[in-house]
Amino acid sequence: MGLTFLVTSLIIVATPGTGVLITIGAGLSRGARSSLVAAFGCTLGIVPHLLAAVTGAAALLQASGEAFTALRLVGVAYLAYMAWTTWRDTGVLAVTEQPQKPAARVIAAAVLANLLNPKLTLFFFAFLPQFVPTGAPHALLNMLELSGVFMAMTFVVFAAYGIFAAAARRHLIERPRVVARIRKAFAAAFLGLGAKLATTR
């Protein structure tokens, strides 16, 4: 495992995207526990991309423009939905005094967000294979090991984002105007991510 892999993976994980927004939103809206659950859900959402890479489905997406376009459009639609619900104060940044929310619901939203994230598919079939040479012994185990490191890094970084956001939660609850501005900023961020995804090739 090289330093290049670790540094590049950290940059990919730490760069704000859908998963980061969902985790921060969970921390701001319902506290540290919810943010950790969201971070776990985002990490769990990586598994389908890993399985696709292992089974060769990612190569199929690479070869089939129609398949990738379909995945991209579904992702764009989901991000638009996230933007709408966040703007309407019913989505990821609905700040409330009630900290508890069904963990299954938080996990489902986080998994879906990462499941529809083509960036992860690109990571697993374009970046990761560079560190697992073709024909190398135990190539599958090497890929699983690197993927495990990437997933662990995702959980730790996302959890840090969420816990930091949870620390500011009390101050935000007492400032509804600030919450409204942050909610609109999040909605705009989701729309921006959707627009970026829509132009991905």
> What is the DSSP annotation of 95-146?
--S-----HHHHHHHHHHHHHT-HHHHHIIIIIGGGGS-TT-TTHHHHHHHH
Distances (CA, A) of 106 to 123, 181, 183: 24, 23, 18
User: Quick one: pLDDT at residue 163?
Assistant: 92
Eight-class DSSP state of 15:
S
C-alpha–C-alpha distance, residues 150 and 172, integer Å: 32
C-alpha–C-alpha distance, residues 114 and 79, integer Å: 11
User: Quick one: pLDDT at residue 128?
Assistant: 77
Nearest residue to 16 (alpha-carbon basis) of 110, 157, 187, 184: 157
Tell me the percentage of the chain whose pLDDT exceeds 70: 66
Give mean pLDDT, residues 91-110: 65
**Which token pair is 84?**
């709408």
Apex 37 CA angle, 32 and 42, nearest 5: 120
Round to the nearest angstrom and report the end-to-end CA distance of the chain: 29
Confidence band of 75 (pLDDT split at 50, 70, 90): low
Give the model confidence (pLDDT) of 170-193 as tens digits.
776 656 676 677 777 767 776 776
**Which token pair is 69?**
């376009």
Name the residue type at position 169: R
Name the burial class of residue 108, with classes exposed (0-12), middle (13-18) and buried (19+) by CB atoms within 10 angstroms of its CB.
Answer: middle
Query: Taking the model in full, what pTM does it have?
Result: 0.70
Give the model confidence (pLDDT) of 144-169 as tens digits.
888 899 999 999 999 999 998 888 87
Confidence band of 89 (pLDDT split at 50, 70, 90): low
Distances (CA, A) of 105 to 15, 37, 102, 110, 178: 25, 10, 5, 9, 26
User: Quick one: pLDDT at residue 2?
Assistant: 73
Hey, where are the domains in the chain?
A: 17-198
Give mean pLDDT, residues 120-135: 71
Give the model confidence (pLDDT) of 27-69 as tens digits.
887 888 888 999 999 999 888 888 877 776 555 555 556 666 6
User: Quick one: pLDDT at residue 200?
Assistant: 61
Q: Give the residue, 138 or 5, on which the prediction is more confident.
A: 5
Q: Give the residue, 71 or 4, on which the prediction is more confident.
A: 4
Query: Using N-to-C axis directions, what is the helix angle for 103-115 and 47-55, rounded to 10°?
Result: 40
Give the model confidence (pLDDT) of 129-143 as tens digits.
777 766 667 777 888
